[in-house]
Amino acid sequence: MAEAMFHTELIRRGLEHLYHIDSAGTSDEEHGNPMYPPARRCLISHGIDPGTHRARQITPADYSLFDHIILMEEANLRQLRRIIPSDPEGKITLLLDHVPHASHRNIADPWYTGNFEATYNDLQQGLQALLNDL
């Protein structure tokens, strides 16, 4: 959801040519799968094209390929440390770390909560703050 939302916001601001964005998970459980249908429906209901992304797992090589690695929750951060053990360049952050005075740091995974709208709202807030920071 975050990748599609961020891509849409970049287009709205005319900045899509400045950024290369990609989404990857910290586990390989969903590797190769398309976006979860309720997540697609949520994005479409907000006028966002969910695209054709297929799940992939982050790799150690991604650290050198990307300037920022943004995670949704602390559990992802713990899992990422097994794949990318150190962050000498300070590239790794939680998305809601970019939101001043956020009431929480984790974006709830709608796979477990079933609340795609709450996740969408948190993502929207975090992505706006991230883009302002960039």
Q: pLDDT tens, 3-58?
A: 999 999 999 999 999 999 999 989 888 777 788 999 999 999 999 999 888 889 99
Domain locations in the chain?
2-127
Report how far residue 128's alpha carbon sits from residue 28's, in angstroms, rounded to the nearest whole number.
28
pTM of the full structure: 0.88
Tokens of 20: 């290369």
Q: Please give the CATH number for the structural domain made up of 2-127.
A: 3.40.50.2300
Cβ atoms of 35 and 50 closer than 8 Å: yes
Sequence-ordered alpha helix ranges (H) in the chain: 2-13, 37-45, 62-65, 74-83, 110-113, 116-133
Model pLDDT for residues 61-95, shown as the tens digit of each residue = 999 999 999 999 999 999 999 999 999 999 999 99
pLDDT in tens, 83-126: 999 999 999 999 999 998 876 789 988 888 889 999 999 999 99
Write phi, then psi, for 109 (nearest 5 degrees): -80, 115
- How far apart (Å, rounded) are the C-alpha atoms in residues 54 and 75? 21
- Give the pLDDT of residue 35: 87
